[in-house]
């Protein structure tokens, strides 16, 4: 008797599982074939997606990664904006509209700060006692513009610090502008819910806020807003409406010499605060306001967490165009998040503003330069960063020049400065030597010290520096890979 040989699939459980069941009808067969081809398609898609992810990871591994570090308000995000403007101008242009609302909110915040100063002055010192009519009150016809001069506006010195100078007219102006505060709060809440610090507008890493604000449509005609009524309008429209509605009162407030005297005696240097746009109300508080490059650089939006930006540089040499730049939040509470980016970066741009007379927002007892040096020491000595190129940007050179020009002496804030000349080159040399010495002493391996004097709100000068920085990073990458 001839032995019947077993079919090949009989020992293969997978092949057996795919065999058609015995007695399969035509309909069942068609269904099974369809399901099998569907499963094969899904499997192919998963394979392709894995290949794609692998390629992306490879590409990312080869890409240049740069980390921007420094204390809060040191200019990290502004440097990133300059990177975009210099190397990806079309992307920068596309996102221009997103900055409109941020600038409007910056302006509204300055108005809020002034209203608060008026309130504080009122509570601490009180108003000018009104005799009827208020003597010396110079505004005519009940107009809302023009200076609101109080009678004793010529007085100076110590006496001025205790003299009431605000009038009922200021109280009325303050009342007219007060809806602005709740409108600003509502707008902030809509845009950036749960901010870590409600006094500052901030953006959380990965929220894609720019595409959100760029995407929203704008109405052609916007009606002025009745105080308190913002219902139904988009956040982007609200900023414009608020400013257009309150424009004249804002101008009256900012052009009033008494208000400036109140700010002075309450030591509120509003001009030096980030995001200062009060000199530009006429230009900004209009329906079709388009932020300029300079406006965008001056806009203040605090970074919370870490933002990753992937740049494909539009004008880069072949193969060198893929860059990742990480922009971190610089407040003390956010610095613990920096370390997770350390093991994979080729270069660090460290922003240290030479604002010798300022202290940290988080801790007014700590001098800003002292704080920068503490972070600098930690970065230079970190072993995970021993291969990274560190580039120091001594930033806010314009602010330094203004501070020295106004007569401030460095030694009154940094005692070790002693009797050295109180001019820009000497101050720069003094602090540069300090940073350089720590870099040399604390770096685990010897490496070159790179530094630049910057004012990163100056786009032309910063662009020239960034082109140099890019070349430097590429060259140092090349020499490292040759050594390896
Ligand atoms: N005058 C002047 N202002 C600057 C300069 N660099 C930055 N600023 C302003 O300082 C403010 C803070 O700058 P940012 O770039 O937001 O600071 P940051 O380091 O990103 O701060 P965080 O996000 O809080 O960590 C912004 O309003 C900038 O326009 C500068 O060189 N000169
Ligand atoms: Mg930032």
10-residue block means of pLDDT along the chain (484 residues)?
58 70 85 90 90 78 91 97 92 91 94 94 81 41 43 50 86 92 84 72 73 62 47 73 94 96 92 94 94 96 88 69 91 91 92 96 94 97 95 97 96 96 98 98 95 97 95 82 55
Q: Using only the alpha carbons of the chain, give its radius of gyration.
A: 31
Alpha helices in 68-144 (DSSP H): 76-87, 89-94, 98-125
Say how many Å lie between the CA of residue 134 and the centre of ligand 1: 43
Give the nearest ligand 1 atom to 328 CA.
25
Out of 72, 203, 207, 274, mutate this one to test ligand 1's pocket (max ligand atoms within 8 Å of CB): namely 274
- CA torsion sign, 67 to 69 to 72 to 77? negative
DSSP calls for 254-291: HT-HHHHHHHHHTT--GGGSSS--GGGHHHHSSTT---
Say how many Å lie between the CA of residue 298 and the centre of ligand 2: 12
Ligand (nearest to CA of 334): 1
Question: Residues lining ligand 1, judged by CB closer than 6 Å?
Answer: 70, 72-78, 274-275, 297-298, 300, 302-303, 329-331, 351, 395-396, 398-399, 455-457
Q: What is the pLDDT of residue 228?
A: 46
Say how many Å lie between the CA of residue 18 and the centre of ligand 1: 65
Ligand (nearest to CA of 273): 1
CB distance 100 to 290 below 8 Å: yes
Burial (CB count within 10 angstroms: exposed 0-12, middle 13-18, buried 19+), residue 91: middle
Give the nearest ligand 1 atom to 351 CA.
19
Say how many Å lie between the CA of residue 266 and the centre of ligand 2: 28
CB distance 273 to 73 below 8 Å: no
Q: What is the pLDDT of residue 222?
A: 47
Structure tokens at 1: 């008797």
Q: Report how far apart, in Å, the C-alpha atoms of 161 and of each of 131, 265, 417 are.
A: 22, 6, 32
Q: Cα 11 from chain centroid?
A: 65
CATH numbers and ranges of domains, the chain: 63-96+299-483 (3.40.50.300), 99-290 (no CATH)
Q: What is the pLDDT of residue 125?
A: 86
Say how many Å lie between the CA of residue 194 and the centre of ligand 1: 22
Report strand pairing: 202-204 vs 389-395.
unpaired
Out of 67, 70, 74, 78, mutate this one to test ligand 1's pocket (max ligand atoms within 8 Å of CB): namely 78
Distance CA 423, CA 440 (A): 26
Alpha helices in 126-219 (DSSP H): 158-162, 168-177, 179-191, 209-215
Give the nearest ligand 1 atom to 330 CA.
25
Out of 73, 400, 452, mutate this one to test ligand 1's pocket (max ligand atoms within 8 Å of CB): namely 73
Out of 457, 462, 465, 466, mutate this one to test ligand 1's pocket (max ligand atoms within 8 Å of CB): namely 457
CB distance 146 to 140 below 8 Å: yes
Ligand (nearest to CA of 102): 1
Out of 70, 77, 299, 338, mutate this one to test ligand 1's pocket (max ligand atoms within 8 Å of CB): namely 77
Distance CA 268, CA 397 (A): 22
Give the nearest ligand 1 atom to 75 CA.
15
Question: Smallest Cα–Cα separation from 195: which of 380, 16, 334, 392?
Answer: 334
Distance CA 193, CA 202 (A): 10
Residue closest via CA to ligand 1's atom 7 equals 75
Give the nearest ligand 1 atom to 395 CA.
31
Distance CA 201, CA 436 (A): 35
Q: What is the pLDDT of residue 158?
A: 57
Q: What is the pLDDT of residue 59?
A: 73
Give the nearest ligand 1 atom to 106 CA.
27
Q: What is the pLDDT of residue 19?
A: 73
Residue closest via CA to ligand 1's atom 26 equals 300
Residue closest via CA to ligand 1's atom 29 equals 298
Is the complex ipTM more than 0.95?
Answer: yes
Out of 69, 75, 99, mutate this one to test ligand 1's pocket (max ligand atoms within 8 Å of CB): namely 75
Give the nearest ligand 1 atom to 70 CA.
19
362 DSSP 8-state letter: S
CB distance 311 to 325 below 8 Å: yes
Distance CA 96, CA 227 (A): 29
Say how many Å lie between the CA of residue 209 and the centre of ligand 2: 14
Q: What is the pLDDT of residue 221?
A: 42
Say how many Å lie between the CA of residue 99 and the centre of ligand 1: 15
Q: What is the pLDDT of residue 156?
A: 46
Say how many Å lie between the CA of residue 70 and the centre of ligand 2: 9
Q: What is the pLDDT of residue 220?
A: 42
* CB-based contacts of 195, cutoff 8 Å, min separation 6: 188, 201, 202, 304
Residue closest via CA to ligand 1's atom 32 equals 396
């Amino acid at each position: 008797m001839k032995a019947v040989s077993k079919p090949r699939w009989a020992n293969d459980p997978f092949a057996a599982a795919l065999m058609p069941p015995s007695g399969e009808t035509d309909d069942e067969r068609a269904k099974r074939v369809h399901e099998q081809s569907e499963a094969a398609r899904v499997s192919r898609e998963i394979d392709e997606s894995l290949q794609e992810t692998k390629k992306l990871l490879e590409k990312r591994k080869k890409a240049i990664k740069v980390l921007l570090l420094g204390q809060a308000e040191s200019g990290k995000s502004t440097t990133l904006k300059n990177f975009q403007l210099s190397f990806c101008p079309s992307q920068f242009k596309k996102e221009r509209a997103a900055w409109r609302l941020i600038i409007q909110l910056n302006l509204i915040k300055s108005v809020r700060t002034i209203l608060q100063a008026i309130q504080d002055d009122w509570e601490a010192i009180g108003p000018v006692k009104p005799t009827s009519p208020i003597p010396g009150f110079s505004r005519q016809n009940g107009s809302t513009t023009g200076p609101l001069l109080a009678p004793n506006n010529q007085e100076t010195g110590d006496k001025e610090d205790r003299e009431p100078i605000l009038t009922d007219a200021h109280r009325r102006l303050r009342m007219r502008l007060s809806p602005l505060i709740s409108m600003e709060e509502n707008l902030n809440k809509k845009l950036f819910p749960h901010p870590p610090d409600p006094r500052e507008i901030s953006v959380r890493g990965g929220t894609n806020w720019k595409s959100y604000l760029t995407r929203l449509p704008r109405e052609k005609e916007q009606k002025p807003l009745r105080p308190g009524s913002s219902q139904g309008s988009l956040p982007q429209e609200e900023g414009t409406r608020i400013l257009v509605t309150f424009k004249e009162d804002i101008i009256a407030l900012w052009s009033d010499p008494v208000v400036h005297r109140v700010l002075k005696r309450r030591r509120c240097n509003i001009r030096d605060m980030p995001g200062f746009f009060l000199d530009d109300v006429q230009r900004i508080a209009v329906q079709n306001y388009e932020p300029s490059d300079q406006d965008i650089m001056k806009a203040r939006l605090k970074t919370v967490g870490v933002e990753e930006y992937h740049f494909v540089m539009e004008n880069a040499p072949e193969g060198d165009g893929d860059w990742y730049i990480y922009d971190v939040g610089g407040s003390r509470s956010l610095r613990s998040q920096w370390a997770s980016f350390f093991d994979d970066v080729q270069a660090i741009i460290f922003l240290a503003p030479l604002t010798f007379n300022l202290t940290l927002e988080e801790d007014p007892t700590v001098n800003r330069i002292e704080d920068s040096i503490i972070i600098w020491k930690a970065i230079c000595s970190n072993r995970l960063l021993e291969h990274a190129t560190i580039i120091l940007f001594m930033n806010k050179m314009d602010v330094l020049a203004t501070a020295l020009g106004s007569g401030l002496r460095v030694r009154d804030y940094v005692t070790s400065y002693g009797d050295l000349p109180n001019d820009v080159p000497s101050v720069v040399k003094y602090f540069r030597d300090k940073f350089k010495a720590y870099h040399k002493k604390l770096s685990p391996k010897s490496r070159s010290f790179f530094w630049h004097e910057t004012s990163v709100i100056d786009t032309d000068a910063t662009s020239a520096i960034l082109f140099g920085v890019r070349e430097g990073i590429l060259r140092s990458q090349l020499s490292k890979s040759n050594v390896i």
